[in-house]
């Protein structure tokens, strides 16, 4: 029950920040005399590259959680305000913890893999492999479901209950 309230609070904080940023950036800008009217380019932040160049091979039904390595976390912390960084890490931690509990409780046959030391995920199917470059994914954490035959799917961890059923029961 406490976890539910913490997640709701985190969502409210993020929505408040997003609303503040949207409202503050929409105000008109009128330079005073002598000031330039050029605006700075928007700061588009991307997840820093992984410090590892290894691949993780997955060949059986699995739920693969990915998260940044320690070097990436330091870089993420350096470019974000403290409150945003704490919110990101808090969300990842609790969403991953909840998803793991749901999988272990309701889908014990699915292997749970948690990875922070690989750049590539290689899903080995019968006739082909699917390779995912985690440096190309802007989310700092997430989960892929893989049944051994179909294409792996990245899902929303907050909807883990329904996503598991949709992916593993479809034929």
- Angstrom distances, CA of residue 89 to CA of 30, 61, 105, 156: 38, 27, 24, 16
pLDDT of residue 17: 54
Structural domain boundaries, residue 117: 49-169
Q: Is residue 76 part of a domain?
A: yes
pLDDT at residue 142 tops 80: yes
Alpha carbon 62 to its chain centroid, in Å, reads 17
Please give the residue that has the higher pLDDT: either 27 or 57: 57
Percent of the chain with pLDDT over 90: 39
Q: Which of 30-39, 66-75, 98-107, 153-162 comes out lowest in average pLDDT?
A: 30-39
Q: Is residue 36 part of a domain?
A: no
Alpha carbon 97 to its chain centroid, in Å, reads 13
Give me 110's structure tokens: 């699915």
Alpha carbon 8 to its chain centroid, in Å, reads 18
Please give the residue that has the higher pLDDT: either 135 or 35: 135
In total, how many domains does the chain have? 1
pLDDT of residue 29: 44
pLDDT mean across residues, the chain: 78
Q: Between β-strands 62-66 and 142-146, what pairing exists: parallel, antiparallel or unpaired?
A: antiparallel
Q: Are 112 and 156 in contact (CB under 8 A)?
A: no
Q: Are 66 and 116 in contact (CB under 8 A)?
A: yes
Q: Is residue 4 part of a domain?
A: no
Q: Is residue 78 part of a domain?
A: yes
Q: pLDDT by residue (tens digit) across 80-104?
A: 888 988 888 899 999 999 999 999 9
- Euclidean distance between CA atoms 132 and 94, whole angstroms: 24
Q: Is residue 81 part of a domain?
A: yes
> CATH number of the domain that 73 lies in?
3.40.30
Q: What's the pLDDT band for 37 if we cut at 50, 70, 90? A: very low
């Amino acid at each position: 029950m406490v976890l539910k309230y913490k997640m709701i609070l985190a969502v409210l904080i993020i929505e408040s920040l997003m609303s503040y940023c949207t409202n503050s950036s929409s105000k008109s800008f009128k330079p005073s005399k002598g000031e330039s009217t050029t605006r700075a380019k928007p700061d588009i932040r991307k997840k820093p590259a992984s410090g590892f160049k290894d691949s993780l091979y997955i060949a059986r039904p699995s739920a693969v959680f990915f998260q940044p390595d320690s070097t990436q976390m330091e870089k993420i912390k350096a470019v974000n305000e403290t409150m945003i960084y704490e919110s990101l890490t808090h969300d990842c931690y609790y969403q991953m913890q909840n998803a793991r509990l749901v999988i272990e409780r309701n889908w014990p046959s699915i292997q749970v893999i948690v990875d922070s030391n690989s750049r590539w995920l290689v899903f080995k199917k019968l006739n082909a492999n699917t390779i995912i470059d985690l440096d190309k994914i802007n989310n700092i954490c997430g989960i892929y479901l893989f049944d051994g035959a179909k294409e792996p799917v990245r899902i929303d961890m907050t909807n883990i209950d329904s996503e598991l059923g949709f992916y593993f029961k479809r034929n």
